[in-house]
Amino acid sequence: MEVGVEREVPRTRGATVAAFLATPVGRAARLGFIGSLLVTLGSFGVGDIPRANTWLQDTSMAWVTYGHGKSLSALLFWAGVALMVVAWVRLGRVVLAERLATTDAGDASMSGVGELRWAAAAWAAPLMLAVPVYSRDVYAYLAQGALLRDGLNPYVDGPASQPGPLLDSMAQVWATTTAPYGPFFVAITRGVTEITGDHTIPGVLLMRLVMLPGWALAIWAVPRLAAHVGRDPRVAAWLVVFNPMLVIHLVAGPHVEMLMAGVLVAGVVLALRGHHVSGLLVLGVAVSIKVTAGIAIPFVLWIWLSHIRSRREVRAVDVARAFAVIVATTVAVFGVFTLLIGHGFGWLNGLGYADRIINWLTLPTAIAHIITYLVAPFTAIPLGPVLSVSRTVGSVVLAVALVCIWWRFRRDERSAVVGMAVAMFAVLLLEPSTLPWYYSWALVFTGAAAITRRWLAVIVGACVFMLIVFQPDDSILLYEPTDLVFAALLAGLAGWSLCRVDPLRLRRAMERVR
């Protein structure tokens, strides 16, 4: 080696990881990972364990699911949730402080997103082993898949048609209802039950595994969508794939949205990049998972026409051709899966059972509650009839609103993506019922909008609120005034903390003590 010439010593992978963990982003990522581990550990005592003969119900595990053991599990679970929320807010402050400069033209830089992807994967990894929390839907998926496996029709027959551990473990309110999911997802559930049989624990673990590609697609696609329309990809990634409400509900839940949301946003990214037919094929798969994804498809027309407009003037034949390809492609994909399953459009029947869910998070339900409360001093009106009318009116308003939103957001590709988010939020507000994990439909597109820090704080508060009022054992605190106020205060603190470096002034107090 020549004298006076220094050779650069390559950094090892361990050194790189250590350097990352020493950064503000790395510290927040590590804190969220610890929180995820605690949530997983706590889920064994407060989660929705299967109601079947499993080791989770064995007497040797009773100390975890009853008495002091359950109380300890609850402490672990909520401590984990708190750490994930704190880490999320801290990470949000970092990425907002380092918000990438973007312009109206051109893609935003993807610099710095890679480390966030690995951190997001680390947050989700422990939850793959958690006991299902907040819902027993995963057992319903398995029970519906078992029906198809055994020659029955999940679009006609409810899980009650086939007694067993899967039926026992699911929420009994859905025991007699039919599957509302698309043919592709039902085929997936059948494949899982063909491997795991009626065994609940292997079934849950494999369901998570087969839906995990959806979460991986979301981690890949959400920042790319934001960058393509000139927004900060790091902020978009932070808002969605680090969101504790989404991570816990979708992965630890788990829920079909874990797969659907990722496929949906990936299809839109392909369309934005000019791969219109490929994007529509992927969107067709998303609709075949859950029909709600179809709300995004009409906006692809505006994306396509925007690309044509960038090269030349749009002609009537261009509009007709794009519209025809959009309809033909998505219908063909959905049709293929429908033919493979062989049970037609029976999933439409299952959509009608959503009205069994009653909470005031949707406007029709909230209005029905208000009406019954206001007239209570004068006459007793049951909630049911009022709810039926308000939900019917809400459905009509929603149909009109979706058309208006589609037409309003037709200017360019960025406008079209924002329109997708607005349309999804309209569904969440006006449909008969909504649940926390449904918000993944809209949030995956929210990064494309120019959202101020204050509005981001509102979203943070709303997500934390729903993470608290819906409990891991399926109970709901939306009608418990004391718990509701407590949840609102914590949610407000979380949102406020996004805008404040030291919201409780603890650092300032410590400095005065010193």
Please report whether residue 7 resides in a domain.
no
Residue 512 domain-assigned (yes or no): no
What does pTM read for this prediction?
0.88
Position 5 confidence tier, pLDDT thresholds 50, 70, 90: very low
pLDDT value of position 58: 59
Average pLDDT taken over every residue of the chain: 87
Please provide the size of the chain in residues.
514
SS3 426: helix
Residue 175 inside a domain? The answer is yes
Range of the domain at 502: 13-357+435-506
Partners of residue 476 on adjacent β-strands: 470
Q: Flag whether pLDDT at 8 surpasses 50.
A: no
Phi-psi region of 483 (alpha: psi -120 to 50; beta: other; left: phi over 0): alpha
Q: For residue 473, how many other CB atoms are within 10 A of its CB?
A: 14
CA atoms within 13 A on the CB side of 219: 19
301 located within any domain: yes
User: How is residue 218 written in tokens?
Assistant: 């979301």
**Among 344-358, 427-441, 489-503, which range has the highest average pLDDT?**
427-441
Predicted local confidence at residue 60, as pLDDT: 58
Indicate whether 187 belongs to any domain. Answer: yes
pLDDT tops 70 at residue 54? no
Assigned domain for 371 exists: no
Q: In this predicted model, what pLDDT tens digit does every residue of 224-253 receive, in sequence order?
A: 999 999 898 999 999 999 999 999 999 998
Q: Does the pLDDT at position 107 exceed 60?
A: no
366 is a domain residue: no
Residue 457 to residue 251: CA distance in whole angstroms = 24
Please give the full DSSP string across 451-508, using - where no structure is assigned: --HHHHHHHHHHHHHHHHHB-TTS-B-TT-HHHHHHHHHHHHHHHHHHH-SSTT-HHH
Output 57 or 6, whichever has higher pLDDT.
Answer: 57
Q: What does the pLDDT look like over 118-155, one tens digit per residue?
A: 899 999 999 999 999 999 999 999 999 999 999 999 99
Pairwise CA distance, residues 196 & 142, whole Å:
10
Q: Is residue 426 part of a domain?
A: no
**Residue 437 to residue 199: CA distance in whole angstroms:** 25
Model confidence at 2, in pLDDT bands (50, 70, 90)? very low
CB 394 within 8 A of CB 432: yes
Peptide bond into 254 cis (omega under 30): yes
Domain count, the chain: 1
Alpha-carbon span 401 to 76, nearest angstrom: 43
